[in-house]
């Protein structure tokens, strides 16, 4: 019984994807960024729409912090001089 329900769910999900893809094709060209559901319908899965995060190494973060402190010091010195 569970196997039948899972198979039915899979058939429904595939039918939904087909209908979404047809809706995307029927919509024609759009200006601007497409909505998330359109991107998911085109790619076939929502897992691909997750944003990727950039990861910096510890050394890179240390260099970035040093550069920011240098900018802050320059701005502080500039405001004292004015």
Average pLDDT over residues 41-47: 57
Task: Work out the pLDDT band at 70, boundaries 50, 70, 90.
Answer: very high
Task: Please tell me which residue, 81 or 60, carries the higher pLDDT value.
Answer: 60
Poorest-pLDDT segment among 1-5, 24-28, 36-40, 63-67:
24-28
CA atoms of 8 and 14, how far apart (whole Å): 10
CA atoms of 5 and 12, how far apart (whole Å): 10
Task: Work out the pLDDT band at 20, boundaries 50, 70, 90.
Answer: confident
**Residue 46 DSSP code:** S
How much is the pLDDT for 52? 76
């Amino acid at each position: 019984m569970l196997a039948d329900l899972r198979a039915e769910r899979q058939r429904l999900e595939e039918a939904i994807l087909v209908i979404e893809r047809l809706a995307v094709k029927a919509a024609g060209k759009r200006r601007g960024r497409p909505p998330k559901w359109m991107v998911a319908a085109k790619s076939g899965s929502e897992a691909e729409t997750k944003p990727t995060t950039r990861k910096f190494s510890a050394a890179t973060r240390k260099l970035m912090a040093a550069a920011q402190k240098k900018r802050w010091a320059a701005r502080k010195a500039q405001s004292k001089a004015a």
